[in-house]
Amino acid sequence: METVPLDSKNVYYPPGGILMWIIIFLELFTFGMALVAMVYYGSLERELFHESRLLLNASYGAVNTVFLLTSGFFMAKSVMELKRQQVAKSIRYLWVTMFLGLCFLVLKSIEYNSKIDAGLDMNYNLFFTFYWALTAFHVIHVIVGILILGISTFNLKRSPDKVELIDIEAGAAFWHMCDLIWLLLFPIIYLIF
């Protein structure tokens, strides 16, 4: 297996390739603009946003933060083991990463169900419009990330000699983007207002 397909010290070829980083920057820009809009409208309707935030369960958000940060750690360990040509260890860490991503989705589903049962849907008020739009868009990214990692795991198990490090690094970069977006969403949605 080729462990360093590109010059890893070359800034023109970051881990995962330039295309992945363009996608990551565009996604971060999109989420960033939406969060700026939420903060702006929250400053105009402070009481509404504060009272609405109190209807959220910050413990769910905190536990999901732990799930994603821990999954990011195992994703980094997976890439590190692959660089050492320890394919079996890399695969195990990929499985742990995906499991923690699934834990995030299960807890988010429980949270979503409680909001729906309470009538706190996207049309409830402006805060919940932002809440649903931002968190659901993030959930889609986590699902895509799990699919990418699942395909990477399958390919790595089936024919490790044909998998290039840059492909695994691209999946890792996407997964870390999901972590970073959640680290922006969690405090603004669950803690600040």
Give the pLDDT confidence of 117-153 residue by residue, as tens digits: 999 999 999 999 999 999 999 999 999 999 999 999 9
Residue 34 located in a structural domain: yes
- Mean predicted lDDT score pLDDT of the chain: 90
Show contacts of 113-116: CB within 8 Å, 24+ apart.
114/57
Q: Which two tokens stand for residue 171?
A: 């999946």
Residue 154 located in a structural domain: yes
Residue 4 located in a structural domain: no
Report, as an integer, the average pLDDT of 56-67: 96
Report, as an integer, the average pLDDT of 9-21: 68
Residue type, 139: V
Residue 13 located in a structural domain: no
The enclosing domain of 34 has a CATH number of 1.20.120.80
Number of structural domains in the chain: 1
Structure confidence at residue 17 (pLDDT) = 73
Residue 155 located in a structural domain: yes
Structure confidence at residue 10 (pLDDT) = 55
What is the distance between the alpha carbons of residues 22 and 115, in angstroms, rounded to a whole number? 35
Q: What is the pTM of this model?
A: 0.86
What is the distance between the alpha carbons of residues 47 and 36, in angstroms, rounded to a whole number? 18
Q: Residue 150 — left, alpha, or beta (φ > 0 → left; ψ -120 to 50 → alpha)? A: alpha
Structure confidence at residue 6 (pLDDT) = 44
Residue 11 located in a structural domain: no
The residue range of the domain holding 103 is: 18-192
Residue 138 located in a structural domain: yes
Residue 5 located in a structural domain: no
- The alpha helices in the chain, defined as continuous H runs, are 18-44, 46-53, 58-83, 87-117, 126-158, 165-186
